[in-house]
Amino acid sequence: MHTAEDLVQAWVAMWNSYDLNSVSQLLLDDGRLSYLSSERQGVISGMPEVIRHHAGFGFVTGGKSTGSRLWLDELVYSDFGDTVVVAGIWYFRRATGVEMRGPVTLVCVRTPGGFRLAYLNFGNYPPGK
């Protein structure tokens, strides 16, 4: 991705398509990759663990339609040159109508192939608040 904004848009599209192939195309593929999920305790480290985590959400090779939708709002991009920190609010509406939301922090790093996500942190807000 040429810009951090492009990367974040591609990441949202990946989530909405449930395409497991896209995970490795958007995230940094080395030991520095870390992910804090709103669905699981502990730090998820490295590409193999992050791919397993997404497979656990139902991501499959080539993607699938689920009727669920993820989106981000109130995004703030802080550019530090080779690193861009993105803060905002994530929203997720399941096909059943259940909606969840919480804070998100994404750290995008510049690589020879463009920006990649190196760190992702998702929290949960209490339901109905």
Judge whether 20 lies within some domain.
yes
Given this model, what pLDDT does residue 39 score? 87
Amino acid at position 67, single letter: G
Give the total number of structural domains in the chain. Answer: 1
Judge whether 127 lies within some domain.
no
Write the pLDDT tens digit of every residue in 64-116: 999 999 999 999 999 999 999 999 999 999 888 889 999 999 999 999 999 99
Q: Which domain holds residue 32?
A: 4-122
| Closest to 36 measured CA to CA, from 106, 115, 129 | 106
Judge whether 128 lies within some domain.
no
CATH number of the domain enclosing 117: 3.10.450.50
Judge whether 129 lies within some domain.
no
Whole-angstrom distance, CA of residue 110 vs CA of residue 69: 28
Residue 20 Cα distances to 7, 54, 110, 124, angstroms: 16, 7, 22, 23
Judge whether 103 lies within some domain.
yes
Judge whether 8 lies within some domain.
yes
Given this model, what pLDDT does residue 54 score? 94
